[in-house]
Amino acid sequence: MSAHLSRHSHRARTAAISLTLAGVLAGCSAPAAGPPGAPAPRPRAPGASGQAAGVFSSRLYGYTVALPAGWSADPGERWGGTGAPGPVDVFRGRPYVAAWAFAVPWPASPWPASPVAYATAVTRTAAQLPCPAAPQTSQPAVIGGAPGWVIGIRCPARGGVLMLAAVTTGGQSALVITFEDSSGMSSAEPADRAAFAEFLAGIRLPA
């Protein structure tokens, strides 16, 4: 994917992936879709910014995250109606970089019971592009003081979109955070991984 991808195309792709991730959530947790007939959230106006940098608190999932400098956040909204997607908190960083977070009951049937397999399945679904069968990187991590796992995968494998995903489980739920850099620039990967690590370090889970 070219580094010269237009901002318009990037915004369209961000919206499409947000809905795809939300669909994954809806498939795993039907109650999260909200009451039938509830109004859908209004799309953000072009040029409007989300919550300013600081500490974002998810009203749906109870976690908080200290946003890295320059990041903004749009809280998840409940959607209503048959087949409507579930809620996803959306975060935006520098151009071509975005992240999404949501929680699901755990184990998240019919998805794989392994956090690594689950993160891989979610990432492959969100990418909407040909992805390798297995993550190219996979390692344990601490997320909000709890054990978790982080995977990395580029879709397609050569010159594609960089997708990073983290999963941490506790009790009967799992928090999933997915990060994307759609620029296709492999030289940006070290900075991307550092930004994602900073994002994860700022997460605090509900008690």
Give 24-78 as a DSSP string: HHHHH-GGGG-STTPPPPPPPPTT---BPSSEEE-TTT--EEEPPTT-EEE----
- Number of residues written out for the chain: 207
DSSP at 5: -
**Three-point CA angle 57, 53, 95, nearest 5°:** 115
Asked if pLDDT for residue 6 goes beyond 90, the answer is no
- Residue identified by tokens 């690590």 is 197
What confidence score (pLDDT) does residue 132 get?
93
Nearest CA among 106, 103, 79, 69 for reference residue 89:
103
Asked if pLDDT for residue 16 goes beyond 70, the answer is no
% of the chain beyond a pLDDT of 70: 66
- Residue identified by tokens 């580094």 is 3
* pLDDT tens per residue, range 33-84: 222 222 233 333 333 344 445 999 998 889 999 999 999 999 886 544 444 4
pTM of the model: 0.74
Tokens linked to 38: 């509830």
* pLDDT tens per residue, range 137-177: 999 999 988 899 999 999 999 889 999 999 998 767 889 99
For 11-160, strand residue ranges (E) read: 55-57, 64-66, 72-74, 89-92, 97-105, 137-143, 146-155
- Domains of the chain in start order, with CATH, are 7-33+54-204 (3.40.1000.10)
